[in-house]
Chains A and B, each alone.
Chain A
Amino acid sequence: MLEKALEGNNRYWAWIFFLLGVITIGGLFYVHQFHYGLGSTGMSRDVSWGIYIAQFTFMVGVAAGGVMLALPLYIHDYKVFGKIAILGEFMAIAAVAMCLMFITVDLGQPMRIMNVLLHPTPHSMLFWDMIVLNGYLFLNVVCGWGILHSVYKEVPPPKWAKPLVILSVPWAFSIHTVTAFLYCGLPGRHFWLTAILAPRFLASAFAAGPALLIIIALIMKHMGCFDPGKEAIQKLTTIIIYAAITNLFFVGLEFFTAYYSNVPEHMATLNYLFWGVDGHNSLVYLMRFGMFIGIAGIIMLLFQKFRQSDGWLGFCLALIFASLWIDKGVGFVLAGFVPNPFDRITEYYPTLSEISIALGVWAAGALILTLLYKIALKVEFKED
């Protein structure tokens, strides 16, 4: 079945080599970071996590988002998603692989990563995160591959697949819940210390994951290699709108609690993010822009005109996806460290090296996704 990944036209190979190029650049920067230390990034004593962990957090959401296909299909037997469910599973594989890569490049001593398993520490949320993420990867690899293989061999799906795909549904919720626990269990980081964090993470995940999936599906459709079917796309869009609105609602709740209560610690980070504090405003315009395009994307999708045209639909979903990325893949993690425990503000700017490594990981994820989708399309639909 693997050999299917090696059949493709020039456009396919150009894309593959482009990705390999980006990965190589990231890899070279990583070699430097590995030898010099994480000082090659923009992180500091005050902002001790940067875009690596922010991307990690966001990608956990993308991985969990695939469940919005699996849940209707496997629990409610909603057959319309039958054709694209495998795409959701494979997207989850690529996303979790990216999560693991982002964690690894963020470690000061990556060669010791096995210490997490050698010295299991149940009171640490990072230990649990490692377990649920690897478990989710395993579930998706086994289910996705198993189901596809049975299609390839033209036999019915194996019996063990059904309980595993059903298990993967609550498991998807668990990966993002535990990831939220990394943040919301820390005293002294008031922006993160909120019980609504896990549901907020899940809501944004259920919008971001499927949005990316539709965008990719639309691109594939446009290139003539695959049509997921109109009904599936429309249904998924409805799910995305609900999830995105829920996420906005949760964000609104955070604003209300902070500003109505008027508790300084609760307002501090939101002030910094959206208004700037004492001239420190590196994220203000980005955050406002993100908020604006998110709302714009949702409103546009309420009109059938935009929903029914592939071009507009892709555009609106891209707006929503970008908005969620700015919110979670940039602002959420970085701003959690502002102000620092001494009520001072240290701003963080990623370095070229850091950005290149992050792009390298994104490219590696895209490569995994491309190869998996190639195989899936060839096998399942005998299409290119």
Chain B
Amino acid sequence: MDVKRRKFLKIAGLSAVAGLAAPSAFNLLLNKGEALATEGRSGAKSEAHGEKSGETSRQYGMVIDLERLQRSPGLAEKCIHACNTEHNIPQYNNPKDEIKWIWLDDYRHSFPEHSQYKKNTALAKLPVVLLCNHCAHPPCVRACPTKATFKNSDGVVMMDYHRCIGCRFCMAACPYGARSFNWRRPREKDANGKYKFFPDGVNPEFPMRMRGVVEKCNFCAKRTLAGRLPACVEACGDSKALVFGDINDPKSEISQVLKAKYTIQRKPAAGTEPSVFYII
């Protein structure tokens, strides 16, 4: 073997080793010190930041049956109210500061990419409940420079309010307008020492946020961990307007519904694979 060739092999071998070792070293670096207490996960082993969920792992999802929602007037509002009180969503009553995790809109604006040409009038009146889609490939998680937003092992896209730097890159990245920013202090009090923006009181079980961080629906991670249903789903009672569960488990109720019914997702062209499905 001539010198040149030996040298080449040596370099090739070295770079192969480096190539193999580098990613794992990188991963090590990435996962170092990640055992952070995040909402509802304190105490649990760090399984969260940056971890990808594959087909085999859990992916919580939701099916929203719009006709059932319409059949019981006030039901959608009840769901929204349940979330607002459960998660201390401040009520600013102005669009500039607005924070919302789950809200109502009409069909036309919820599915703008669908043809709106000559749609029947019933459709125009259909109330559509909107919330974070807990996408299988969430662009918000991809964009976040600090992993303050991340996908946990249940497929839920979560927020770490203590890590978020408030750059709002995730808001630009989310194609669904699911994220809200705390433009001001939600904990502000009036002269009598009462919270200004929580007219219905405060749930001590859930933290109030600070100004300057982003927040959104967390699929009630704390409740589901305790084996309970999300607040909005629970508020629907037996109406089955909202069905929640693991869409990767073929035996789950939600999988049965998805198999039986025709459902649509918002903006499928964005490649995010939303985990929230709608029955029109």
9 A-B pairs within 8 Å (CB atoms) are namely A44-B183, A49-B168, A106-B167, A109-B210, A119-B49, A120-B29, A122-B30, A124-B169, A341-B175
- Closest approach, in angstroms, between the C-beta of A335 and any C-beta of chain B? 13
CA distance A336 to B148 in the complex (A): 24
Binary CB contact string for chain A from 25 to 53 against chain B (1 if under 8 A, 0 otherwise)? 00000000000111100111110110000
For A343, the chain B residues whose CB sits under 8 A away are 108-109, 112
Task: Assess A46 versus B177: contact at CB under 8 Å? Given A37-B211, A107-B212.
Answer: yes
Given contacts A44-B97, A108-B212, 7 further A-B contacts (CB under 8 A): A39-B96, A39-B211, A45-B171, A45-B181, A124-B143, A182-B169, A187-B270
Residue of B nearest to A41 (CB): B183
Counting residue pairs across A and B whose Cβ atoms lie within 8 Å, the total is 151
Enumerate B43-91 residues with CB–CB distance to A below 8 Å: 49-50
> What residues of chain B lie closer than 8 Å to A344, measured between beta carbons?
109
In which size bucket is the chain A interface? Answer: 35 or more
Given A120-B30, A121-B145, A108–B112 Cβ distance below 8 Å?
no
A106 to B214, CA, bound (A): 13
**When the two chains form their complex, are residues A186 and B139 in contact, meaning their CB atoms are under 8 A apart?**
yes
Within 135-152 of B, Cβ neighbours of A (below 8 Å) are at 139, 142-148
* Shortest Cβ gap from A109 to chain B (Å): 4
In the complex formed, the residue of B with least CB distance to A103 is B167
Q: Does A167 contact B (CB under 8 A)?
A: no
Q: Which A residue sits closest to B161, measured CB to CB?
A: A109
Interface hits, B171-194 → A, CB 8 Å = 171-177, 180-185
Closest to B266 in A: A341
Assess the A109–B169 pair: CB atoms within 8 A. no
Does A342 sit at the interface, judged by CB under 8 A?
Answer: yes
Which residues from A are CB-within-8-Å of B29? 120
Q: Are A108 and B213 touching (Cβ within 8 A)? A: yes
Is the CB–CB distance between A109 and B30 below 8 Å? no
A188 contacts B97, C-beta separation under 8 Å: no
| A41 and B109 alpha carbons, distance in the complex (Å) | 27
Pairwise interchain contact A126-B167, C-beta atoms closer than 8 A:
yes
A-chain residues with CB within 8 Å of residue B167 when the two chains form the complex: 103, 106-108, 126
Does A261 sit within 8 A of B, measured CB to CB? no
Of the listed residues B29, B145, B166, B185, the one surrounded by the most CB atoms of chain A closer than 10 A to its CB is B145
Q: Which residues of A sit under 8 angstroms from B97, Cβ to Cβ?
A: 39, 44
A159-198 Cβ-contact flags toward B at 8 Å (1 or 0) = 0000000000000000000000011011111000000000
Q: Is B11 an interface residue (CB 8 A)?
A: no
Whether B175 and A187, one on each chain, are in contact in the complex, defined by CB atoms closer than 8 angstroms, is: yes
Which of A84-92, A110-118, A375-383 has 4 or more CB atoms under 8 Å from chain B? A110-118
**Binding site of A, secondary structure by majority: helix, strand, loop or mixed?**
loop
Chain B residues with Cβ under 8 A from A130's Cβ?
A: 145
CB contact between B166 and one of A46, A108, A341 (< 8 Å): that residue: A108
Interface size on B, residues (CB 8 A): 53
**CA A186 to CA B179, docked complex, whole Å:** 15
Docked pose: A119 CA to B167 CA in angstroms: 15
Known contacts being A124-B169, A340-B177, is A108 close to B182, with CB within 8 Å?
yes
> Residues of A at under 8 Å CB distance from B?
36-39, 42-46, 48-49, 103, 106-110, 112-113, 115-116, 118-127, 130, 182-183, 185-189, 265, 336-337, 340-344, 346
Q: How far is the CA of A103 from the CA of B182 in the complex (A)?
A: 18
CB 8 Å contact bits of B82-113 with A (1 = contact, 0 = none): 00000000000001111100000100111011
Task: Give Cα A183 to B139, complex, Å.
Answer: 12
A189's partner among B95, B168, B172, B182 (CB-CB below 8 A) is B172
Chain A's closest residue to B137 (CB) is A187
Contact with A along B102-126 (1 / 0, CB 8 A): 0001001110110000000000000
Q: Which residue of A lies closest to B214 (CB)?
A: A108
| Contacting pair A48 B171 (CB below 8 A) | yes
Contact across chains for A115 and B163 when beta carbons are under 8 A apart: yes
Verify if B272 is at the interface (C-beta below 8 Å from A): yes
Shortest Cβ distance from B139 into chain A, in angstroms? Answer: 6
Report yes or no: B172 in contact with A49, Cβ–Cβ below 8 A. Answer: yes
Q: Using a CB-CB cutoff of 8 Å, which residues 190-217 of chain B contact chain A?
A: 210-214
Our pick among B99, B165, B171 for the contact of A112 (Cβ within 8 Å) is B165
B172 touches A126 (CB 8 A): no
* Closest CB in chain A relative to B176 CB, distance in Å: 6
Interchain CA distance A42-B112 in the complex, whole Å: 26
Q: Which residues of A contact B145 (CB under 8 A)?
A: 115-116, 121, 124, 126-127, 130
CA distance A109 to B164 in the complex (A): 7
Is A188's CB under 8 angstroms from B267's CB? yes
A residues in contact with B267, CB < 8 Å: 188, 341
How far is the CB of A356 from the nearest CB of chain B, in Å?
18
Chain A: minimal CB distance from B210 (Å): 8
Q: Which of A42, A116, A120 has the most chain B CB atoms inside 10 A of its CB?
A: A120
Q: Which residues of B contact A183 (CB under 8 A)?
A: 172
Asked whether A37 lies within 8 Å of B169 as measured between CB atoms, the reply is no
Residues of B within 8 A of A265 (CB): 113
Chain B proximity of A82: nearest CB distance (Å): 39
Cβ-defined contact, B95 with A342, below 8 A: no
Q: Which residue of B lies closest to A333 (CB)?
A: B172
Query: Given contacts A37-B212, A49-B172, A121-B50, is CB(A108)–CB(B180) below 8 Å?
Result: no
Q: A118 vs B146: C-alpha distance in the bound complex, in angstroms?
A: 8
Q: Chain B contacts of A336 at CB under 8 A? A: 172
Which among B112, B165, B185 is the interface contact of A109 at CB below 8 angstroms?
Answer: B165
**Chain B: minimal CB distance from A188 (Å):** 3
A342-B177 Cα distance, complex, nearest whole Å: 8
B237 proximal to A (CB < 8 A): no
A119 to B165 alpha-carbon distance, docked (Å): 12
Q: Chain B's nearest CB lies how many Å from the CB of A344?
A: 6
- B271 part of interface (Cβ distance < 8 Å): yes
Which of A109, A126, A346 touches B95 (beta carbons < 8 Å)? A346
Contact partner of A119 (CB less than 8 A), chosen from B96, B147, B172, B176, is B147
Contact A44 B95 (CB under 8 A): yes
